[in-house]
Amino acid sequence: MKSIPFIIMLLVSAINLIAQNVYRTVDGHVLVTGEYKGEKITAQSHKLRFVLNYTTKQFTGTIDLRTLKTGINSLDSLMLAKKDSLWLNFSGTIPNDDFITWEHPVLKLNVPVTVHVNNIQRELVLAATIEHFDASGTYSCSLSGFIDLSISQFNFSKEGLKDTVNAQFVQLLLKKQ
């Protein structure tokens, strides 16, 4: 009976330890810009899943592209009608030991990206930037990334939709506690 409180304390400590070493969100913001019928359009989603392991400095992100909304019914319904996987997945490692707790120069990274659309997979490169800033004495960084995609590579097209789109995100990385 005396071991039950000890086990509970051990579990709480383990959860706190894990919580301090891994940052995650399931509602990150993604923007995709392009051109439709000669007009600039923006699709956005708040369904970016993002994980950063503070210990290994590895990060991963994924988004179901069907969650992107343009406000143009014909484009939004085209995305929702896709039965195949429409996922953008990316991962990388931050090459700086103290990027979370100490001031550092702007870091520019080329991150491998796997894009799955219409059962077609392409390996591309995401241009990412990690920028340090000090907000109210709390050190943190922002991780941003962008990539230009040719949608014809994925047998995806719609009359009036320009072939090249730009996908981008910005994610705040909080100071490790």
What is the rounded CA–CA span in Å between residue 25 and residue 48? 8
Mean pLDDT score of the chain:
78
Residue 29 has pLDDT above 80, yes or no: yes
Which residue reads 């019914």 in tokens?
73
The total number of residues written for the chain in this structure: 177
Closest CA to 82 of 156, 177, 26: 156
- Write down the pTM of the prediction: 0.73
Confidence of residue 16 (pLDDT cuts 50, 70, 90): very low
Beta bridge partners of 21: none
What is the rounded CA–CA span in Å between residue 47 and residue 77? 18
Mean pLDDT of the region 146-156? 88
Question: Quick one: pLDDT at residue 175?
Answer: 57
DSSP reduced 3-state for 99: coil
Q: Please give the structure tokens belonging to residue 16.
A: 């706190």
What is the rounded CA–CA span in Å between residue 58 and residue 94? 6
- What is the distance, to the nearest Å, from the Cα of residue 154 to the centroid of all Cα atoms in its chain? 20
Quote the strand ranges of the chain, DSSP E: 22-36, 39-53, 58-64, 86-93, 107-117, 120-135, 138-150, 164-173
Question: Quick one: pLDDT at residue 60?
Answer: 85
Residue 152 has pLDDT above 70, yes or no: yes
What domains can be seen in the chain, in order of their start residue? 23-173 (2.40.128.110)
In the chain, % of residues over pLDDT 70? 75
Higher pLDDT, 18 or 160: 160
DSSP reduced 3-state for 104: coil
| φ, ψ at 77 (rounded to 5°) | -70, -30
Residue 172 has pLDDT above 70, yes or no: yes
Question: Quick one: pLDDT at residue 101?
Answer: 59
Which tens digit of pLDDT belongs to each residue from 96-134?
666 665 667 788 888 888 887 777 888 888 898 888 776
Which tens digit of pLDDT belongs to each residue from 66-84?
899 999 998 888 888 876 6
